[in-house]
Amino acid sequence: MPLKFSRKQQTLARRSCVSGFGLFNGCDVTLEFCPAAENHGIVFERVDLAEPVRIPALIDFVVPQNRCTVISHQGASVSVIEHVMAALAGLRVDNCLVRINAPEPPACDGSSRTFAEAILHAGIIVQSEFRLAMEITDFLTYVESSRVGIACQASRQSDFRIGFLLDYGPGPIPFQALNLAITPSVFFDQLANCRTFVLESEVEQLRGAGLGLRATPENVLVFGADGILENSLRWPDECVRHKILDCVGDLALLGHDLIGQFTASRSGHRLNHELVRLIRASADYRNSLLQFEVVSPVSVSLPEAVSARSRAPHFDSPLVHRAAALSTIRE
């Protein structure tokens, strides 16, 4: 799986801010997108601490957490970064300092739309250095059951594609499937405004734990037994589109562009992270990385990215056939 130069790197022309409150902790927060130099990467900075801490948005800094993506460094963390990361990666912003004065970005409407609009308002400019792209040539999988897993393989079109099968069985959320080539226009037009969704029973559990107390059906899609509550869908298949949006944000934690077909079935953040670790662990990736001088975003000691638990079994069930079928799913 070789690394190659794909395009020139990009950053913002000027600063842009988004304010609101966190989805889980409910804290008021302002997030600021700031321009950054070549090879800086995406780095979050907690500016509300006595001494600000910078945390690179890389798989090396991801810590386990249910329902979201969390990065941590030097005792500081930022939770629920996936929608911010999706907006940056979807619009191909490679270098950005994301300054934030709380442990969690604004929830906004539960999608990436507000972040994407802030980025476009700031303007995107081309830089002098080239961006590296990871071309997937092997078939890698991480699977938990016959219906839950994620895989990557070479793309026939030599592009970055994500297919997702969303099948929760009987219930208010119907089966949905979609396969998209991820480009800035596709991301903004077809994914950016797709919102987080939960079941009504999950909302009750979260609030019982003291989480999501300021959340409303305006910033998260809530499905009751008879369908969506106090809201309406922006797309008939908005749920699977949001899952693809989450994949865009999580896969960006590799730190490079991607060329390949990614296929998921009922995958979540944890499985997405494990696939990124598998890619990082591949011998071809490591050997290819030695050919390039990659500048670290900040002066930190990166931990080993892969542990034994990330070595996934192959699909050994009908899931492999469901994954293969995505090549025929409508776009």
**DSSP per-residue letters across 236-263:** TTHHHHHHHHHHHHHHGGGSSEEEEEEE
| 33 Cβ neighbours under 8 A, 6+ residues apart | 12, 15, 16, 17, 18, 96, 98, 115, 118, 119, 122
Q: What is the pLDDT of residue 179?
A: 98
Contact 84, 33 (CB under 8 A): no
3-state secondary structure of 105: coil
pTM of model > 0.85: yes
Q: What is the pLDDT of residue 211?
A: 66
Q: Is 170 exposed, middle or buried (0-12, 13-18, 19+ CB in 10 A)?
A: exposed
Other beta carbons within 10 Å of 233 = 14
Catalytic residues: 269
Ranking 115-124, 169-178, 238-247 by mean pLDDT, the lowest is: 169-178
Q: What is the pLDDT of residue 201?
A: 81
Q: What is the dihedral of CA 257, 297, 100, 89, to 10 degrees?
A: -10
Q: What is the pLDDT of residue 6?
A: 84
What is the architecture, at CATH level 2, of domain 3-328? 2-Layer Sandwich (3.30)
Whole-number percent of the chain with pLDDT over 70: 84
Look-up of token digits 């991480």: 142
3-state secondary structure of 211: coil
Residue 239: pLDDT band with limits 50, 70, 90: very high
> How are the residues of the chain apportioned to helix, strand and coil, as percentages rounded to the nearest 5?
25, 30, 40
How do residues 41-63 score in pLDDT, each as one tens digit? 999 999 999 999 999 999 999 99
How do residues 259-318 score in pLDDT, each as one tens digit? 999 999 999 999 999 999 999 988 667 767 766 654 444 433 333 322 222 333 333 333
Q: What is the pLDDT of residue 118?
A: 98
Q: What is the pLDDT of residue 203?
A: 75
Domain segments of the chain as ranges: 3-328
Q: What is the pLDDT of residue 307?
A: 29
